[in-house]
Structure 1
Amino acid sequence: MGVEVSRLSNGLTVATETLPHIETVALGVWVKSGSRNEREDEHGIAHLLEHMAFKGTGSRSAWDIASQIEDVGGEINAATSVETTSFYARVLRDDMPLAIDLLADILTDSKFDAEELEREQHVIMQEIGAAHDTPDDIVFDRFTETAFRHQTIGRSILGTPETVKSFSAQQIHDFMARQYGADRMVVVAAGAVTHDEFVREVEKRLGAFRPNAPGLPPASANYVGGDFREDRDLMDAQIVLGFEGRAYHVRDFYASQLLSMILGGGMSSRLFQEVRERRGLCYSVYAFHWGFSDTGVFGVHAATGREDIAELVPVLLSELQKTGELIKIEELNRARAQYRAGLMMSSESAASRASQIARQIMLFGRPISKEELMDRLSGITIERLTDLSTRLFSTRPTIAAVGPVGTLAPFEDILGLLASPQPHVRKMAG
């Protein structure tokens, strides 16, 4: 049957996909507002709002919200990202109306009680402390802060202890009123659901939600790159090396996804084989490409011991530069197969499918079929990938390193390696 989409009179988009042989429904409300939409004095408020939404409404206590969904064996949760916030549930097919009612209640009638707020602020401060004590988490925060210095897109989603403690219930209400409107929201269900019934339930509970969110869109991102190092007395070092990537909407977005798979998308990838298997320079290495609405980052994460840091980065740079010279057809075909398999596997999960549909509607204005995605991938050639690689890895790099990083080459030397011809890079790495 495919994805069906309707729009309510207030502008709220509602989409469903019926998945045969599934007895559950995954559903949620996705809002096109995240940490990037915060003002300078609101660092962490989007994430705090996500927590506080479950702490009581005008008609339900925090206990009521938790117990009512679990009384029917369901699950309810939420998540905050840089550009979106989602509130979602999974229930048996007959309990879909209850799940919609709960989600609508927390979005329309949350109280943000002062005592609950104080407790949740304390919880988030513990979360911030735990992240800081986890090097393979904190290194990514430092990476984005360095790549997008002094911009909301680069700030940690969690906020800081100082900012989180400063927020009042009124500030959370104001942020929600400014950022949450039907024009920025998508309600999606996948699994054992019929479209007309779901639309009716959403209309009952969210049909009167405010049509527009008056908040201004976030400022345009400006990738700057740079260098961050935190020397800690640890057994291993966490290193992220990155470059300016591609936004969701640009031509090279899917090519960038395939390039990340070729470089570090599995055990057969170039980085895994060269850096881990052949040279034994790290115990973990992979590549990634993150797209945002107007920018992106392409990066490599590696975890290594103190004695291998000096050699590791030149070898990483060497492997990146090689992709600008040669990519084999079997590598491209393998990356396409990995992407297709991942797409198919995730589509067998109702929760993953609902999330995919919501993201596509928010980013592209419509759901994109698996066939269309595969057509886009099939049009990507080796020539496009090698050209993209040359352009990506000529941008100013971003380095973030946490751990015993004293032997990591100076940033200026890394810049020099990037500017050097390929054979020289290999020589320095050896």
Structure 2
Amino acid sequence: MTVRISTLDNGLRVVTDTLPHVETVTVGVWTDVGSSHEQEDQNGLSHMLEHMAFKGTKRRNARDIAEEVENVGGYLNAYTSREQTTYYARLLKEDLDLGVDVLSDILQFSTFDPKELERERGVIIQEIGQANDTPDDIVFDLMQEAAYPEQAAGRPILGTIERVSNFTRDDLASYMSHHYKADEMVLVAAGNLKHDELVDMAAKKFSAIERTRPDQKEEVVYKGGARLEDKDLEQVNLIFGFDGVSFDDPDYYTAQVMSMILGGGMSSRLFQEVRENRGLVYSIYSFNQSYVDGGTFAIHAGTGPDQVGELIPVVAGEMHKLTHEVSAEEVNRARNQMKAGMMMAFENTTNRMEHLGRQMMIHGRPVPREEILEKLDEVDGIAIARYMDRLLNGGKLSLGAIGPLSSLEEYDKVAARF
């Protein structure tokens, strides 16, 4: 990996991962702003801004933005998370300048045309409606709200229809002006490019972005509890959440390996016991969701109403087993899965851009693969058992559930099983 970093006069960092053997390049701008930076009356504004950035600038209308990139066979996209918003383009190597130009244009000179705003408002409301019709989307928001009640981290990234219906052009312009600052952003590129040339492009095209914003997001504080939605569906979707780890927690890599052992694939304990041995679910898996200042570990499952009573104690039992029964074979298999997944991902320029951008946002530096592999190799069965004990004794269960819930035990009884 050939990674270089430069910082422009206004504080914008430029990071590159040069791969001379490929014909493409992915360039992205990472902004340190997401739904966790929003006030309650702003919920959904980060996501709406991401949409509206593509709907016209002083030099380009919405169609121009799409066509200029697609005319050269490129791909342009963006997404909003709880802590960042990312805009990126994947192009042939000779079209890097175009990608940088378009990204710099939409992030500095968007006009937020009122007609485009009304059209896109309808699109986002449709997106919210689609999510609200998807139980395994809703249940994630329910668990998040249970884990972080009355906090920005507990509110949905998409916002609500009521909020989105009332955002104005001034809201968008003010939010972008306040949050999109150069030293809270990183321009990242991976592929066939020259670092110094990208730095020169960035210096010319990102000069209008001011340096510093005055404040940051509120601190994440895990609480726990239940958010349940009784609904006439074929299945019950459940998420069991626990107070997890931040990105810089000493147990971060232990948490990743533990999750792989418990619910990370077809050989995982949950898949084997809950699906293969008992036939209680089609899908069950676990995952870690880390933030700069906190995180959750969670297990998601979808099951029939008649199977809920059997499913929950089995899931709890598998977690308790990990506090004292962890084989070296399981740990080695989980580590190998993670290592292979990382190495396979590095064969794609977009994944490399994602990897670098996320590390710069979280750690302020690229973390070498060798360092990650070393951290994974340090995890053993003792560490896994200790971390599972930490999870089970670390705070209240966060339970999200949607579906026919008549057979679901009361929250206190469910929580007591864990």
Deviations 1:261-283 (A, max 9, x none): 00000000000001110111111
Q: Over residues 10-34 of structure 1, what are the superposed CA-to-partner deviations in whole Å (9 max), with x where a residue is unaligned?
A: 1111011112421011011000110
Secondary structure of the structure 2 residue equivalent to 1:407: coil
Structure 1: any 5+ residue segments left out of the alignment? 419-430
Rounded Cα–Cα distance in structure 2 between residues aligned with 1:283 and 1:77: 32
Change (3 A) 1:205 1:39: same
Secondary structure of the residue aligned to 2:221 is coil
Aligned to 1:397: 397
Tell whether the 8 Å contact from 1:17 to 1:190 is kept in structure 2 after alignment.
yes
Describe the SS at the equivalent of 1:283: strand
Which residue of structure 2 aligns with residue 266 of structure 1?
A: 265
Task: Note the residue ranges of structure 2 that are not aligned, 5 or more in a row.
Answer: none
SS at the partner of 1:357? helix
Q: For residue 33 of structure 1, give the secondary structure of its aligned residue in structure 2.
A: coil
* Kept after mapping to 2: 8 A contact 1:12/1:207: no
Q: What is the aligned partner in structure 2 of residue 350 from structure 1?
A: 349
- Could you tell me which residue of structure 2 aligns to residue 220 of structure 1? 219
Distance 1:39 1:229 in 2: 25
Q: Which residue of 2 aligns with 1:416?
A: 416
Letter of the 2:164 counterpart: V
Once the two structures are TM-superposed, the CA of residue 381 in structure 1 deviates from its matched residue by 2.1
In structure 2, C-alpha distance between the alignment counterparts of 1:209 and 1:229, rounded to whole Å: 44
Q: Residues 372-387 of structure 1 correspond to what in structure 2 (within 5 A)?
A: 372-387=371-386
Structure 1 segments (4+ residues) deviating >6 Å: none
Structure 2: how far apart are the matches of 1:265 and 1:92?
Answer: 35
Alignment of 1:311 onto 2:277? no
Deviation at 1:362, TM superposition (A): 1.1
Indicate whether 1:284 and 2:283 are aligned: yes
Is the 2:274–2:280 contact (alpha carbons within 8 Å) kept by the matching residues of 1? yes
- Counterpart of 2:151 in structure 1: which amino acid? Q
Separation of aligned partners in 1, 2:190 and 2:151: 36
Alignment pair present for 1:69 and 2:69: yes
CA distance in 1, matches of 2:298, 2:107: 36
C-alpha distance after superposition, 1:297-349 (max 9, x if no partner): 00100011121111101110000111011111011101110110111011111
Code of the residue aligned with 1:40 in structure 2: it is E
Corresponding residue for 1:29? 29
- Equivalent residues in 2 for 1:164-183, closer than 5 Å: 164-183=164-183
Q: Bigger shift: 14-23 or 41-50?
A: 14-23
CA distance in structure 1 between the aligned counterparts of 2:316 and 2:207, rounded to whole angstroms: 53
- Deviation, structure 1 residue 242: 1.1
| Equivalent position amino acid for 2:109 in 1 | D
Partner of 1:126: 126
Task: Tell me by how many angstroms 1:91 deviates.
Answer: 0.6
Q: Which residue is equivalent to 2:203?
A: 203
Q: Is the 8 A contact 1:25 1:92 kept in 2?
A: yes
SS in 1 for 2:324: coil
Match in the other structure for 1:110: 110
CA offset at residue 208 of structure 1?
Answer: 4.0
**Which digits, 9 at most, give the CA deviation of each residue in 1:352-375, with x for residues without a partner?**
100110110111110011101001
Tell me which residue corresponds to 1:335.
Answer: 334
Please name the residue that 2:78 is paired with.
78
Partner of 1:16: 16
- Percent identity, aligned pairs only? 46
Q: TM-score normalized by structure 2?
A: 0.98
Q: Distance in 1 between matches of 2:165 and 2:68?
A: 30
What letter is aligned with 2:206?
L
Larger deviation: 316-325 or 402-411?
Answer: 402-411
